[in-house]
Chain A
Amino acid sequence: MAVYKRAYRSYTGPITAERWRFLVLTRYSLSQLFSSRAFSWFMMVTLLPVILSAAYVYVTNSVTAQLVLRMGNQSLLSVDGTFFSKILIAQAWMALFLTCWAGPLLVASDLSNSALPLYLSRPLNRAEYVTGKAAVLVLILSCVTWIPVLLIFALQSSLAGGSWAWQHLSFVAAILAGSFVWIAVLTLMSLATSAWVKWRIVATAVTFGLFVLPPGFGEAINGVMRTSWGRVLNLPYLLEMILTHMLGAPMQSHGPFSDQPLPQFAAWVVLVGVCFASLALLNKRLRACEVVRG
């Protein structure tokens, strides 16, 4: 019978597995994000540093390419911890830009349209809602952080030989650990910000501001207190600390008091603390209804 002729009837067909049902949210959110051509282009632009790095790796390992490019001093070319830390830091910034674009779309629009009761009146709890939305950012950010950087590692391994890969296997752990902590920070901070700031544009600005304004405040603290602890407010700096330490690369100078580096544990504590604080904010904000008293 044609659909338009049917009367209401109860559903007796198959049901999907509850465990993976949060992926419905992920699938629809991804589809909504990539329906924007501008976002697709931007996603490709964020991979430019990776493409340039791949070219660099190729030139480093190819004598022919070096001759063609007339590169005299080959000792300047090397693929080491510094190279991987630089590319990861570049991709971390790209991930931040992507998060500012995509993050507020996920939760802020649901809250501004009072859609939470629709989700949470179904067999879906708040944790699954957050997981479904967070999975969108995790997937997108993975595509611009650890996945392409590991591909470059694989490229370097194939060009330099198996022994290079074995000698630098610790890089894989560093790439994964650094990327995962950064993805977790970006994802949770972005979702928490979007949950509290319902307007998308404002949520974008606040998310970006949280990464670029506190470092300035931190430097002011450093200047006044003559300490380097103000840098705990500088999340990109903390990521750089972790990456350079794990990759065995030297830390770049960051203005005054660079000779007083923060301990590694401080970086981990702050980044993990930011994740937990974001989760607490999400837990407080994501409710199916707001009780108006008075």
Chain B
Amino acid sequence: MIKLINQSIRQTILWSVVAGVLYPVVMTIFAQVAFHNQANGSLVEKDGKIIGSALLAQQFQGTNYFWPRPSACSYGTGPSGIAASSGSNLGPTSGSLYTNVQNNIAAFISGNNLPTNTVVPADMVFASASGLDPHISPEAARLQISRVAASRGMSEDKIKALVDQFTEPPQWGFLGQARVNVLLLNVALDRAQAGTKKAETGAPSKG
């Protein structure tokens, strides 16, 4: 028995070194070299500041931005710093789920000035699993176009082109679902508008 304990301890130490030090260190070096951006969290920068990760949703409520899916964890933020990723975990017969669903539908319809009989896409009605789902369905993005266009004073065609540009089809044509990355789309929106303004102010004035 003493021998077994001795062997157990020595095996535990040995594998802690192999699987706990060697393996992660080698994989980290490999990932940092080969896939530097992904390995560090796919960060999105603007003017040298980190403004988010391409893989994590952020809260957008302003009329000039596209809105992400409802989150049960405030998109991982909170006054105390971090909030753990989380779904709502509400069951199908939950009264709270019923209330949330009705509120989300109403908020989306009134916020986007849609006809009251609009079928709101399921992804905007139900909270995501992680609370950080960076994507919405292409349908949910399309329904927001005219509101964003009106709020920014940009043409709907221009914004529709951007939405199309950021719509990812199922990966390799057959994996997963079509989706639009909200944060990247919103960053592109800001850039497009800034570009337009620059072009307008930079244009020679007539008369």
Are A and B associated in one complex?
Answer: no
Chain B positions within 8 Å of A, measured between CB atoms, are none
